[in-house]
Chain A
Amino acid sequence: DAKTTQPPSMDCAEGRAANLPCNHSTISGNEYVYWYRQIHSQGPQYIIHGLKNNETNEMASLIITEDRKSSTLILPHATLRDTAVYYCIVGYDYKLSFGAGTTVTVRA
């Protein structure tokens, strides 16, 4: 059973912020929200993760709703190199369940 729901695809303009939604209405109290991305022909790459609070690092920001049933990954200034499949994953241990992800295409 899928633990997360993501739109299959989205486009964004280069230089603009990209906001990637994820629904995880059945998340448990001890489960984290992780984001990975996979650029074509490469292995997945970790982006960010969080439990309750919003998180920010050099790559992105993660906004988690107060009820934790959904989250948004924000790429503040998308570049062409951000074109990839983005995976929202919910869990608490090593076993990552990737799902189908969102294919993000950044256009010039």
Chain B
Amino acid sequence: GAGVSQSPRYKVAKRGQDVALRCDPISGHVSLFWYQQALGQGPEFLTYFQNEAQLDKSGLPSDRFFAERPEGSVSTLKIQRTQQEDSAVYLCASSLASGGYNEQFFGPGTRLTVL
């Protein structure tokens, strides 16, 4: 079956540009997560959605980062005025249920390079 997909797979931006990264979760999955993975490090949590509600955005590094999931399915992570330190792989994950722990299914990620 179809897994989590992300687009684009690679994005190069000039410093100061805005970028939008898309995530298509597994159909029917209630929960959606975004993670940031710097080179050589493990993924770090950014934000969590339950359907269309953003319940946790504690990991977003600055107010330049914004995520939405308006219809409870596709999600977009937007980064405004990109900086070089934003260069990383951005991973999206979804899980079937909400509350407590449920297995998270990850997409392949979007590699963002800010020049």
Contact = CB atoms under 8 A, between A and B. Distances in A.
B45 A97 contact: yes
A43 B42 contact: no
Interface in A4-40: 32, 34
B93 A43 contact: yes
Contacts of B41: 100
Contacts, number: 56
Interface stretch (A44-52, A60-68, A71-79): A44-52
Contact of B100 (A46, A85, A92): A92
A43 B92 CA distance: 8
B104 A93 contact: no
Interface residues on B, range: 20 to 34
A94 B105 contact: no
A22 B21 CA distance: 34
Interface string B14-38: 0000000000000000010101000
B4 interface: yes
Contacts of A85: 42
A43 B91 CA distance: 7
Contacts of A95: 45, 48, 56
Interface stretch (B60-68, B69-77, B79-87, B106-114): B106-114
A86 B17 CA distance: 35
Contacts of B109: 42-43
Interface of A: 32, 34, 41-46, 49, 85, 87, 91-101
22 contacts: A34-B101, A41-B108, A42-B106, A42-B108, A43-B4, A43-B91, A43-B107, A44-B93, A44-B106, A46-B104, A93-B101, A94-B31, A94-B33, A94-B102, A95-B45, A95-B56, A96-B35, A96-B45, A96-B104, A97-B44, A100-B41, A101-B42
